[in-house]
Every structure is written in C-alpha cells, then in structure tokens.
C-alpha cells in the first residue's frame, strides 16, 4: 500500500486548499524562579483540540531551557490550521525535574490557551503572533508566553556551518571569562525576531570555536536571502544570561564567507546600547564563518514518500512475575467486562500508530518466558500463531486475538531473557539490509518488547543490541506494571552509547524504553503512543543517512494519488475497507488442559 494511507502523513505533505500547515515557535518572559539555587528549567507541552474532539491531545513538546526565566525555545512545532474549523491550543509550562518525557516530578508553572483563529489574527490581532498571560491553577499570573506562527516551508536542504569568536567581550569580570553561546533568529513576517537555533555553551573562553551546526532551511522560510540575526550570549547559572551583541547575515552571506574563510571577512558583534552610549565604542568582538555548505538531508517523510515500509514484530512477556491471569490484579488478567489489561492497552497504543505503515499489515507475534505445553522447557522465543499454516497475524486486532488465546494455554515461568528475541529480529533486519543493498524497496523493522520485570540476561542483551545496531531496526521496550525498570534505562542509550563486553560501541542508539504505567497516568493513550514513538523517525533517518541511502523514487500507480509501495513488484496493493479479507483464526480459541500445537511455534531460546 501507499505509505500515505495514514491521514496525518498525507496532511503533512499535501495542501488540500482548505488548510495550511504552520510552524510555531515559542518564547516566554517573566517566569517564576522555582529552583532554589538556580533558575527554572522550563519546557512547554502543547495540546490541540479540534472541532470534533472532546478533549485536548498532545501534539508536541519544546526542549528544556536550563536556568532561565526568559526562555526562547528553538523547537519547531508543526500544526495544521483548518480555517473552517474551531481549533484550540493549550500550552502547559513546566519546570523540568529529571527526564522531560518520563519523570512525573516536574513543577507546574502554569498554562495559557488560544484558538488557531486568534493566532492567525481573525479578531484583528497581528496574524501569526500572539502574547498570552500564563496563569497557575489559582489564577495567579506566572509570566507571558509569546507565540509565533508562519506557514511551514518544506525543505530537505540544511545549512551546515561552523562559527568561531574572536576577542569577544568579557562579561564575567576579573576572575573569569564569558561562557559564550549563540542563537540564530529569523525575521518573521511582522518584523519580529524569532529564535530558530541555539549552539552549545563554550565555557570560559573569549575565542570560542563552536561545533559544526546544522540548520534546516525550512526553519528560516526556505529563503537564502532572508535576514538572520545571530546573537551572542554569556551563559550564567542563575538564568540571567548576559547579552554580548549581535550581527546580521543571511544564509547566502554565511555560505559566501564560508568559501572565503578569511579574517578580513569577519563580522563585528555589536551591542546596541554600548554603541549608543559610548562614542569610541566599535564592537564587542567578531564572529568568523570557518566553514559553510548546503547539504540535502532526506527527512523521515521523504523516506515514507519513497515507499519505506515500517514493519512491526511484537514480543510479549509471559513470565510468572506477571501474576496468575485468573487473578484480577494480574497484568495478564482478562476481564469478563471486556476492560483491557495493560498489555492490551500497550499493544493498542503503539500498534495502531505503526500499523498503517506496513503494506500487508501482517505481523509476527512472539511470547517469551513460558512453557508452551506441560513438561516442555521454558522458551524465550515462541510464536503466537492463529493456525499451523499461518505464522503471522493481520493487524492489531490479530495481535490481540492470538495474545488473548495464548494466556490460558501457556504455563507462565521465567526468567526474563531478551537475547533470543533480539536475535530473531536481527535475522529479519539483516534480510532487509541485503534487499536494500540490492536496490529493493526500503524496509525498517521495529521490535516491540513488552515486559513486566527485571531483565536477567543484561550483558548478553547489550551485546546483542550492539551487534545489530548497524541494521535497519529499532527496539521499543514497554515496561508494564510497576517493577524496577532501572536496567531498561541503561539499554536506552540516550546518554551514552552502549558497549559490549569487548568494548565495541553501538553504531547508533536503537533502543527506547518507556514505562507504560507512569506515562499512562500522565497522558491520554493517543499522546502515550506519540511519546513511545517519539525517537523512531530520528532513528530511521540516522540509519539511512549513515549509509548514504537516498529515498527511492516515488512510485505512482493507477488510482493512487500519492507515492508509495502500492503496486510495486512483490508488494500487494492495500485492500480498501470493504475488500479486506477476514483473518482466519481471529476467533479466540477455547482454553483446554494443554496448549493446542497450532497456537505456538517454538523458534529457539529454550532453557
């Protein structure tokens, strides 16, 4: 099927004439200081409620700005504006305490809201700009939120550049030196400067050389000649960062200076107030463009447009620590009322998002940590199959069906072993890699592991992850229940790349861990799915970019408006809702004294 069967993807790429995709940037002023020793670490969660929605759902989060009461976030938030509909935006501001996405200890600052119509100036305001007071739950003012919006420009071009400072102003007195960083601001349509990019901080240095930066031309409106304001700041822990001056350039100017790499083309950094007050003032140092070039970097959507398929492989924990399924408090309890247990909710939340990106919607489903029949050894990778002839199931409903059928027919055991499942996924991903190198349509595998407890083969699992980190696959681990998941955070290599026992480092981070219960208590399940899958687009991009694999040319077929896999050799076109055949074995089998052989297909990893 076309990868664009998902409406959200279609909406992101196609202008239907009645809507407009906007890019939104945020800044705030006068936020309260909630941390005793340092400034607050604010971030914003943004929610949208459409005309047909009964409640708000999360659409994005900004980055955390450390130690600041006047943050300027550079995260670009994409919102589709339907001018014929009532759409409301809600902004909740938090002071970060721990990990932004998983911690439940953040301090609430306050919230504000407005409609998309108000943001676009339908009530006489400035189109694309709004200021709103932030209020806490008691109605007390907690600062001001500044919201900027412009039509999004899609671009795969990036400006890759490096800057160095020369003799910058010292803002830290006799006993120190400035800690400079720079912010790139673009000129908005109403003449305001909006921050779109921020560098790292270089400590105690008046002649800094910042790392190579990457700036999407889409963030600057796709215009190489649009003015950019580069501001230099001195970082301070108390959040009161000192302004050091600015200069104005365009992308074209930066490219030109990058080619010359000549000190005579350095740009003066000017602090306006000093220039006005001091007659002999010339500048506060210089910036030098040490390198600059334009590169084309395909996005996740570019790969989808070229027909990339994302396949899902599901692995479910049947170890004894989940509890007896006949006990209502068991994590595998099947309710007579039809209420979903945590495993069912996790399958639904993640599976419904990934399902549209697989052409045939056929998924392999495994269990681990159980005996499939009385007296059999414990298996750490056994298939859950609807029949002896069919080794995969159709769609999320098929996954749920074989999962429910398995519960009364396996003997829960242990320990919790991941390595055999990762090896199974590695074999599939290796096949994808071989086909990719032979020029076949691109495929990427997501191994979804749902587990309730402490992993018992930690080092072997790390070794297996390192060994498959060069393949087109990601691993999403969903922690079900409230066990100790500290080891899982180690596998999620956001802070440090994993190393195997021989010291070999993972090629890239391919693991994301999500504690389901912690997140489910904070978000609606649609928002939870977004949080679970937040890292996946970046991991897909990172894999194909590292291998210099470009998106395949779009494939257009009769009756299809969008490029994708439909009609490609060896790949069936997706049936419409009325054509979709029923899945054999979808009915939940009756429990018996032993597991019927057709329900399980052991693939190794027994103990």
List, for residues 140-194, the tens digit of each pLDDT value.
Answer: 999 999 999 888 887 888 999 999 999 999 998 888 899 999 999 998 877 889 8
Average pLDDT value for residue range 342-371: 88
List, for residues 546-585, the tens digit of each pLDDT value.
Answer: 998 988 875 544 333 333 333 332 222 222 223 333 323 3
Position 104 scores a pLDDT of 63
Non-local CB neighbours of 517 within 8 Å, separated by 6+ positions: 342, 479, 480, 481, 482
**What does DSSP say about strands 362-363 and 393-394: parallel, antiparallel, or unpaired?**
antiparallel
More confident of the two residues 80 and 422: 422
Residue 34 has pLDDT above 60, yes or no: yes
CATH value of 3-151 in 2.60.40.150, 3.40.228.10, 1.25.60.10, 2.60.15.10: 2.60.40.150
Residue 44 has pLDDT above 90, yes or no: yes
Q: How is domain 310-572 classified at the architecture level of CATH?
A: 3-Layer(aba) Sandwich (3.40)
More confident of the two residues 108 and 279: 108
Position 253 scores a pLDDT of 94
List, for residues 396-448, the tens digit of each pLDDT value.
Answer: 999 999 999 999 999 999 999 999 999 999 999 999 999 999 999 999 999 99
Q: CA distances (Å), 260 to each of 27, 47, 215, 256, 265, in order?
A: 35, 46, 20, 7, 8
What's the pTM?
Answer: 0.63
Residue 222 has pLDDT above 50, yes or no: yes
Position 338 scores a pLDDT of 80
Do 529 and 350 meet the contact criterion of CB atoms below 8 Å apart?
A: yes
More confident of the two residues 87 and 357: 87
Lowest mean pLDDT among 54-63, 134-143, 570-579: 570-579
Position 36 scores a pLDDT of 67
More confident of the two residues 164 and 124: 164
List the domain boundaries for the chain. 3-151, 157-296, 310-572
Question: In 3-state terms, what secondary structure has residue 348?
Answer: helix
DSSP 8-state class, residue 209: B
List, for residues 196-208, the tens digit of each pLDDT value.
Answer: 999 999 999 999 9
More confident of the two residues 393 and 13: 393
Structural tokens at position 600 = 């399980």
How many other CB atoms sit within 10 Å of the CB of residue 503?
A: 7
Non-local CB neighbours of 415 within 8 Å, separated by 6+ positions: 319, 369, 456, 457
Position 570 scores a pLDDT of 28
Q: Would you say the CATH fold of 157-296 matches that of 3-151?
A: yes
Residue 278 has pLDDT above 50, yes or no: yes
Q: Taking the domain 157-296, which CATH number applies? A: 2.60.40.150
């Amino acid at each position: 099927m076309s990868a664009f069967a998902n409406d959200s993807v279609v909406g992101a790429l196609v202008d239907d004439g009645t809507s407009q995709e906007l890019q939104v940037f945020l800044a705030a002023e006068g936020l309260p200081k909630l941390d005793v020793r340092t400034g607050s670490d604010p971030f914003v969660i943004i929610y949208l409620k459409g005309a047909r929605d009964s409640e708000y759902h999360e659409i994005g989060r900004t980055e955390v700005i450390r130690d600041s009461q006047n943050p300027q976030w550079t995260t670009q938030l994409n919102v589709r504006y339907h001018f014929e509909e009532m759409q409301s935006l809600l902004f909740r501001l938090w002071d970060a305490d721990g990990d932004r996405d998983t911690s439940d200890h953040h301090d609430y600052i306050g919230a504000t809201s407005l409609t998309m119509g108000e943001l676009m100036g339908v009530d006489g305001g400035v189109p694309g700009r709004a200021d709103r007071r932030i209020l806490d739950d008691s109605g007390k003012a907690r600062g001001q939120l500044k919201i900027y919006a412009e039509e999004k420009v899609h671009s795969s071009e990036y400006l890759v550049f490096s800057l160095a400072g020369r003799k910058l102003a010292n803002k830290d007195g006799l006993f120190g030196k400035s800690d400079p960083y720079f912010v790139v601001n673009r000129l908005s349509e109403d003449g305001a400067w909006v921050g779109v990019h921020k560098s790292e901080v270089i400590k105690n240095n008046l002649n800094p050389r910042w790392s190579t930066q990457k700036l999407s031309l889409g963030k600057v409106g796709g215009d190489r000649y649009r003015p950019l304001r580069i501001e230099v700041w001195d970082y301070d822990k108390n959040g009161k960062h000192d302004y050091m001056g600015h200069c104005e350039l365009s992308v074209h100017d930066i490219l030109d200076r990058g080619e010359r790499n000549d000190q005579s083309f350095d740009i003066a950094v000017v602090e306006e107030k000093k220039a006005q007050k001091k007659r002999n003032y010339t500048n506060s140092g210089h910036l030098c463009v040490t390198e600059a070039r334009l590169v084309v970097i395909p996005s996740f959507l570019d790969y989808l447009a070229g027909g990339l398929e994302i396949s899902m492989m599901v692995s479910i924990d049947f170890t004894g620590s989940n509890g007896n399924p006949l006990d209502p408090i068991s994590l595998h309890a099947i309710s007579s009322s039809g209420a979903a247990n945590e495993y069912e909710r996790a399958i639904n939340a993640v599976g419904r998002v990934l399902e549209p990106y697989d052409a045939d919607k056929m998924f392999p489903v495994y269990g681990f940590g159980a005996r499939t029949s009385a007296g059999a050894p414990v298996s750490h990778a056994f298939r859950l199959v609807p029949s002896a002839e069919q080794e995969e199931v159709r769609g999320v409903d098929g996954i749920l069906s074989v999962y429910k059928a398995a519960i009364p027919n396996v003997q829960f055991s242990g320990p919790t072993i991941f390595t055999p499942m990762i090896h199974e996924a590695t074999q599939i991903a290796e096949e994808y890699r071989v086909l990719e190198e032979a020029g076949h349509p691109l495929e990427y595998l997501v191994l979804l592991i749902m587990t309730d407890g402490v992993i018992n083969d930690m080092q072997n699992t790390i070794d297996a992850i390192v060994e498959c980190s060069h393949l087109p696959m990601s691993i999403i681990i969903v922690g079900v229940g409230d066990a100790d998941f500290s080891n899982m955070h180690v596998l999620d290599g956001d802070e440090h790349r994993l190393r195997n026992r021989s010291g070999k480092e993972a090629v890239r981070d391919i693991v994301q861990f999500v504690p389901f219960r912690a997140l489910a208590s904070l978000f609606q399940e649609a928002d939870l799915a977004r949080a679970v899958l937040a890292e996946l687009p970046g991991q897909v991009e990172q894999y194909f970019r590292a291998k210099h694999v470009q998106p395949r040319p779009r494939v257009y077929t009769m009756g299809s408006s969008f490029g994708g896999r439909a009609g490609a050799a060896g790949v069936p076109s997706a049936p419409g809702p009325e054509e979709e055949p029923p899945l054999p074995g979808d009915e939940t089998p009756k429990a018996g004294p032993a597991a019927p052989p057709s329900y399980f297909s052991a693939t190794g990893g027994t103990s």
